[in-house]
Amino acid sequence: MNSYLNALGVVCALGAGKAAVAEALFGGSDEGIRPVSGWIPGREAPMGAARAALPPVPAALASTRDNRNNRLLLAAALEIESDIRAAIARFGHARVGVIIGTSTTGIDEATRGIGDYRRDGAWPADYRYAHQELGAPAAFLAEWLDLAGPCYGISTACTSSARALLSARRLLRMGVCDAVLCGGADTLCGLPINGFHALEAMDGTRCNPFSQHRDGINIGEAAALFLMTREHGPVQLFGGGASSDAHHMSSPDPRGLGAQAAMRAALADAGLEASQIDYLNLHGTATEHNDAMEALAVDAVFPHGVPCSSTKSLTGHTLGAAGALEAAFCWLSLADAGSHRRLPPHVWDGQPDPTLPSLDLVTHGPRLARGGRHLMSNSFAFGGNNATLILGDAT
């Protein structure tokens, strides 16, 4: 039973909406990562902040659901609202589900409230515990749209929204839903930013994936939302795979065995050989160990090479939203206007790590090879959690 990604709404550091994001993405724009102050005491850090004006939470929900994470998610949802409303009219409110991956949800607003409580001994009037619940973004969309189908959040760190797409496909295959809103949203937040800073995992300049000079991540924020149905659409979710190697709480298996397992599972699920993958969006965080692991894993699964790139030097690492955002980049390549089929370039210093297998990193202006139709996207996370998606041309 096939599952199609019929519509996409997206907002990130590259812009708001498919057209703006695609123009900046395929052009390798360096505007997304900029120094930001106010998050780490006493210093600026380069981050991928979404600078578009965000829509207000509808008045009926403002008292309980108003936080930046929901406003970011709403911006993505409004881009495809007509598609969503049409699906609800066609299938009914009880047959449309919502699954959203996140790792920060509204924790920034919640922690500010906790700070006020510790200082003043009383909760501020706008404090809502529900802001920090991991299912809150999904619940917000369901309440706004008056949906009665399955509704839940997934939080598996940086694979969260990739797994949301896999779970949405499962609901369609089981016949529980006829349409599912799925994707992810995460916003810049003091808790993870200072956590990564404490781990000394953040680069003080633009991140440099797979370079011998790589020195850590830039953190970003994004929302990417798909409408998935069984109805034929422009892009198909051909397959997906997941694994958990549980090697370490924060470090990946240095051999990349869990990453290999996820990629091979996705290929098997899609009924494809590695040679049929035309592009791979790498997880590519620009940390020493993740890039080394992924290079080894990609070399093992694709011994003859595959065009690939990491887009995190353009957007920052958007944590729980990264899986859906980078799947969205594959969607934009497949749906590229005029059949240009452009690919996201790998923006870096061009200095590969000589200790790692060589990767076929695409440069500015690359296009999907004639006849190419299968694109893969990797997401890896703390705790050895791995997920791989394969999107393809549905024509």
Which domain CATH number covers 71? Answer: 3.40.47.10
The residues of the chain scoring below 50 in pLDDT are: none
Q: Which residues are catalytic?
A: 158, 283, 317
2: which strand partners?
none
At residue 250, the pLDDT reads 65
Q: Which domain holds residue 154?
A: 4-393
8 A C-beta contact, residue 229 and residue 178: yes
**Considering the entire predicted model, what is its pTM?**
0.96
Is residue 194 exposed (0-12), middle (13-18) or buried (19+ Cβ within 10 Å)? middle
List b or e across 54-64, with b for residues whose CB sees 16 or more CB atoms inside 10 angstroms.
beebeeebeee
What DSSP state is assigned to residue 44? E
Tell whether the torsion through CA atoms of 309, 311, 314 and 316 is positive or negative: negative
Total number of domains in the chain = 1
Residue 337 pLDDT:
58
The neighbour count for residue 372, using CB atoms within 10 Å, is 19
Structure-block tokens of residue 356: 């790692």
Q: How many CB atoms lie within 10 A of CB 377?
A: 29
Q: What is the pLDDT of residues 116-156, one digit of tens each?
A: 999 999 999 889 888 889 999 999 999 999 999 999 999 99
Q: Which of 236, 212, 195, 268 is nearest to 335 (CA)?
A: 236
Predicted local distance difference test score (pLDDT) of residue 395? 66
What is the reported pLDDT for 144?
98
What pLDDT, on the 0 to 100 scale, is given for residue 74? 98
Phi, psi of 51 (to 5 degrees): -100, 0
